[in-house]
A and B are shown apart, each in its own frame.
Chain A
Amino acid sequence: MSLDSIEQTVTSVVAEIAELSEADLWESREADLFDELRLDSLLALEIIATLERKYRIEVPEEQMVEVRTLMHAIGIVKDALGHKEGSGADCASGSASEKVSAAR
């Protein structure tokens, strides 16, 4: 797999908090984190908070609930940082990417 640095970092964060292997998680990057990968709302909260701290971004609550897959999470970070290109940004298109606010 060929990942850019944001994809790599977000995958690493989610894998560590969800206690999954990075390779398996990346293979399941379009899988529903809650229904298929057994995350719960508190783990999702921790993932978002960790990404906010790491990238100095802010993800509003109405957008948190839209994060259903790893690629959504990657897309949110890329959008918040102003990275529109790349596979992650493509997957986060639509409503999830429209309401991101960056607090820098």
Chain B
Amino acid sequence: MSAAPSVAPTAETGCSLDFDEIRRILPHREPFILVDRVLSLEPRRRIRCLKSISGADPVFAWHFPSQALFPGAFLLEAMAQATLLVFIAGTPEPDTTRSYVLGRADVRWLTPVRPGDRVELRAEVEKAASTGSIVRCEARVEGRCVARARLIVAPVDLQG
């Protein structure tokens, strides 16, 4: 099925996307797709996403063998992927030839994330320009902030 991802209205402002739709939009591939669902989206403004942490994730084989902790770097990447979706999702024909890379990240990890946690990822664009954008992100588990970040991302041409 090659149809462009649909944009389903929700009760909230914006739209939602399931995992298959996210997989068609993001340039990443498993097991490095770190957003399971888009709960709400206002393109180029803000997004709320869900990432469910499973004990079956291969990352827990080595982080750590004696205590399963979701790597902080992966949590940062999850916030970065939510940020990417803000810019490339939510349009009838998402531009998959263009992506964004991190240029700078000021991040705070506040609480460990473990298997069984459902992480809500929030990203809100602070400033957008053609040369790059600044985005504020939060990761929450059961309403509690477990990480926050201010990301500066730059556009890149994936076909270049």
Contact = CB atoms under 8 A, between A and B. Distances in A.
Partners in one complex: yes
B149 interface: no
Interface residues of B, number: 12
Contacts, number: 29
Interface stretch (B27-35, B74-82, B124-132): B124-132
Interface in B90-148: 103-104, 126-127, 129-134
A90 interface: no
B67 to A, nearest CB: 36
A46 B129 contact: no
Contacts of B131: 41-42, 44-45, 64
Question: Lowest 7 A-B CB distances belong to which pairs?
Answer: A41-B131, A42-B103, A49-B127, A42-B132, A61-B129, A45-B132, A42-B152
Interface of A: 41-42, 44-46, 48-49, 52, 61, 64
9 contacts: A42-B104, A42-B131, A42-B152, A42-B154, A46-B152, A48-B127, A61-B130, A64-B129, A64-B131
